[in-house]
Amino acid sequence: MQNSAPSLLPEIDAITANKWMVERTGVMLDVREAAEFDFENIPGSVLLPLSFLDPNNFPAIEGVKIIVLCAIGKRALAAQKQLQDSGFNNLYTLSGGIDAWKKAGLQTQGGKFEALDYTI
């Protein structure tokens, strides 16, 4: 039996991910849990928690890059590996997760901001 080298899971930075989303060449898959997503998320991202991820039921997404994200990157890498092992291609992890997105000065949305609304 031949040992094959583990395949590298590609990561991208927040600026590149944002560019792909603006150009509509990438779709953002958020694998955090629903409460985390409701609290704060990236506009245009799609929620599919890692706890519910089933590669057998994952939709066939062709013609765009799939950018997987979580809070800091660990769950995203696990989801990316599951999908890649099931034959999905064009998968990228958002390096540093939503934290890196915010550090890059990019916008988020969600309940976090509703709690800060002090208008009367």
Classify strands 91-94 and 65-69 as parallel, antiparallel or unpaired.
parallel
pLDDT single digits (tens) 1-37:
334 434 578 999 999 999 999 999 999 999 999 999 9
Q: Which two tokens stand for residue 6?
A: 């583990």
- For the four alpha carbons of 80, 42, 65 and 54, in that order, the dihedral sign comes to positive
Domains and CATH numbers, the chain: 11-114 (3.40.250.10)
Instruction: Write down the pTM of the prediction.
Output: 0.83
Q: Which residues are catalytic?
A: 70
pLDDT single digits (tens) 88-112:
889 999 999 999 999 999 999 998 7
3-state secondary structure of 35: helix
